[in-house]
Amino acid sequence: MNPFFLKDAEGNPLTLYRGECNHPHQIEPFYRMRRIYFGSLKTAEIYADTVENDGNYYTSRIFPVHLLMANPFINQPQGAFLEFEHITATLGSIDAQRIALRFSKYIEETDNWRDRINANNKYADVKAYLLAGEDINNLYFQAYRFFDSVFEIRRLVQAGYDGAIHAGSGHGSAGEVEYCVFNRAQVYFKPGKAFWS
């Protein structure tokens, strides 16, 4: 058994699931992005039942998998946010500043920004906050926004990271743990093991 398989409480490879509603001929999971998310059967069933209304015929499938993950960038099953304290500690202050400016829209959508940091509308935006010399480590935003970026995933891979574990906050995943890998070679499944939702 590969020592880098994610494991369950008994020490066995953890079975995770990906739910999709795709073309009938699709026998493997379909990935639109560089990062690939998996989670609980409950979450997979919700995604498998999400049908696009574009006139095509789709089939719902759920793919059970085992995942290889040796060095996740974050491992926070209870936390859905990516905190800048972690970004600064792992990637450095220069990257943290760049990321804060790039994802400022999502930082400004958080209750942390609206109700605590900028409750009195002191700052026009995150850029103004940083120019004022305020502490970047007080900021955070939803983790999945960061992992949606192909550019950021490439940089994480170059830095030696291969995935992320965080709480879900999206459609059907709120309150569930989500597992994100950065390369499809980390996904182990057997053709024919997929099942209907």
Handedness of CA 87, 91, 97, 98 (dihedral sign): negative
Q: What is the pLDDT of residue 52?
A: 60
Q: Which two tokens stand for residue 127?
A: 């850029």
Q: Which residue from 57, 49, 56 is spatially nearest to 20, judged by alpha carbons?
A: 49
The pTM assigned to this predicted structure is 0.87
- Report d(CA 153, CA 144) in Å as an integer: 11
SS3 131: helix
- Report d(CA 90, CA 101) in Å as an integer: 18
Q: Which two tokens stand for residue 190?
A: 């057997």
User: For every one of its 197 residues, what pLDDT tens digit does the chain have, with 9 covering 90 and above?
Assistant: 577 899 999 999 999 998 887 766 666 666 656 688 999 998 888 888 776 655 565 678 888 999 999 999 999 999 999 999 999 999 999 999 999 999 999 999 999 999 999 999 999 999 999 999 999 999 999 999 999 999 999 999 999 999 999 998 766 667 789 999 999 889 887 555 555 43
> At a CB cut-off of 8 Å and minimum separation 6, what does 25 contact?
none
- Report d(CA 24, CA 28) in Å as an integer: 11
Q: What is the pLDDT of residue 196?
A: 45
Residue 158 near residue 18 (C-beta atoms within 8 A): no
Q: What is the pLDDT of residue 19?
A: 84
Q: Which two tokens stand for residue 119?
A: 């409750």
Q: What is the pLDDT of residue 188?
A: 87
